[in-house]
Amino acid sequence: MWSVNDNCLTNEFEFENFQEALAFVNRIAELAEIRKHHPDIFIHDYRFVKISLTTHDAGNKISEKDVEMAPMIDALYTT
């Protein structure tokens, strides 16, 4: 579930293994390139991926770009 932390929308996703986590990150990277909006991505404990969305060119504040991208990332997690 997405939450607001330090002017970011954040969520953490859990996977069975590192390969699945990395594949998810790569799907997010493709989406980010298409939308020209790049989240901060952190893989930790080999199978957890934390995503932080903020709009850097809007003064590091949550913008419509972030609100729109969050459910798109969720859709990548379920597919």
Q: How many angstroms separate the CA atoms of 48 and 46, rounded?
A: 6
For the chain, what's the residue count? 79
Query: Which residue type is seen at 57?
Result: D
For residues 48 and 16, what is the distance between their CA atoms, to the nearest angstrom?
9
pLDDT in tens, 19-69: 999 999 999 999 999 999 999 999 999 999 999 999 988 889 999 999 999
The domains found in the chain, sorted by start residue, are 3-78 (3.30.1360.20)
| Per-residue pLDDT at 6 exceeds 80 | yes
Please indicate whether residue 9 or residue 60 has the higher confidence score (pLDDT). 9
Q: How confident is the model at residue 79 (pLDDT cuts 50, 70, 90)?
A: low
Q: Report H helices in the chain.
A: 18-35, 64-78
pLDDT band at 5 (very low <50, low <70, confident <90, very high): very high
